[in-house]
Amino acid sequence: MRRREFLGGITCLSGLSLAKTAGLRLDQLTSSTASLAGMTMLESLRKIRELGFGGAEIITFSGQKHSLGPLAGVVKADMSKQEADKLLSEVKRLGHVSTHLPFHGLRPANQDRAARKSTLDLLHRAIDDSGFLGARVATVHAAPEPNMTYEQIWPDLLAVFRELGDHAAKYKIRLAIETMAPNTVKQYLAMIREINHDFVGGCVDTGHTRWYRADIGIEDSERATARGAKRYNDILMEKVEGLGPKLFHFHFDDVRPADWREHRTLGTGLVDWERLLRHLAKVGYSGTFAVELEETPVVEALVKSRLFYQKVLREIM
């Protein structure tokens, strides 16, 4: 199919976006601006809207890149009033807005008080910027401390996230701690349960289950087998089901069967989307799914991912 026909098809299909589909809606699917590496923030927000996504996840840090290139990010203090106004008018044209808080080199449970404070200051700034953007949910990471176990930093970690939750609550933003760290299902779920804060819950990244090696319990050589895929999806679902009402947000990406490389186009990997979406429809999940890809061509990967999500919704009706 030629490109114009392909995109034309999307516009036509998006007319169905508001119809309820088995408890899930097409507009719940948003895209991270990180899926459009190399674009400016305004370019990526416009493109995401043009492709029919229900909103965007906006990066609130600058100067970072991933495997496909530099990532545009929002740091309000670095913008002129005119730039900030222009950005906000573009953001207001989106449906759902979420943000990704900084994580590079951050150590929320650092035992050095001054160093911990600098991490917290950075996260507070990013939460303030998320408030400016009108975000309803913000993704954050619970990074480990070098040479320390989670047991050792546990009280500090819980205290830090309660404090961040208090700050986010001022803007009515829910903080969603992304799956990856801690890297056992038991510890990850215990952390969120014990933080016990109305504004702190979880963000399940469908590609990050590869980090839960002990839970999956297979050899690397078994990854590309049916058993490997089943174990992957079983552990993914343990996190989703275990979070229950604390399931605040998702990052959607697929996983390449051969090497479990994540951030692949939806529908091209081993993630059992039908199983996941059926469950979410059944429990009435009402949050958003931010597609987070590192695949080229970047626009086509997003288009394909959205069409795939739409197809699965139709199938599970």
Sole window of 22-30, 181-189, 238-246, 251-259 interacting with Zn ion (rule: CB under 5 A): 251-259
Closer residue to Zn ion in complex, CB, 129/205 = 205
Tell me which residue of 286, 279, 288 sits closest to 242, measured CA to CA. 279
Is position 141 an interface residue for Zn ion (rule: CB under 5 A)? Answer: no
Sole window of 37-45, 77-85, 201-209, 238-246 interacting with Zn ion (rule: CB under 5 A): 201-209
What CA–CA distances, in Å, run from 224 to 1, 87, 228, 294? 31, 43, 6, 21
Is position 262 an interface residue for Zn ion (rule: CB under 5 A)? Answer: no
Closer residue to Zn ion in complex, CB, 292/294 = 292
Of 76, 96, 197, 251, the one binding Zn ion (CB under 5 A) is 251
Which residues face 139 on adjacent strands? Answer: 100, 176
Of 57, 129, 205, 294, the one binding Zn ion (CB under 5 A) is 205
Closer residue to Zn ion in complex, CB, 292/295 = 292
- The secondary structure of 247-283, three-state, reads EEEEEECECCCCCCCCCECCCCCCCCHHHHHHHHHHH
Is position 100 an interface residue for Zn ion (rule: CB under 5 A)? Answer: no
Sole window of 55-63, 204-212, 271-279, 307-315 interacting with Zn ion (rule: CB under 5 A): 204-212
Least Å distance, CB 263 to Zn ion, is 8
Is position 264 an interface residue for Zn ion (rule: CB under 5 A)? Answer: no
Sole window of 130-138, 156-164, 234-242, 291-299 interacting with Zn ion (rule: CB under 5 A): 291-299
Q: How many positions of this chain bind Zn ion (CB under 5 A)? A: 3
Least Å distance, CB 193 to Zn ion, is 21
Least Å distance, CB 251 to Zn ion, is 3
Strands 174-178 and 200-205, by their bridges, are parallel
Sole window of 115-123, 284-292, 297-305, 306-314 interacting with Zn ion (rule: CB under 5 A): 284-292
What CA–CA distances, in Å, run from 20 to 9, 194, 243, 309? 20, 34, 24, 14
- What is the C-alpha separation between 291 and 238, in angstroms, rounded? 21
CB neighbours of 157 closer than 8 A, spacing ≥ 6? 108, 109, 142, 150, 191
Helix (H, G, I), strand (E, B) or coil at 116: helix
Tell me which residue of 286, 256, 251, 285 sits closest to 268, measured CA to CA. 256
Run of H or E residues at 177: strand 174-178
Residues that bind Zn ion (CB under 5 A): 205, 251, 292
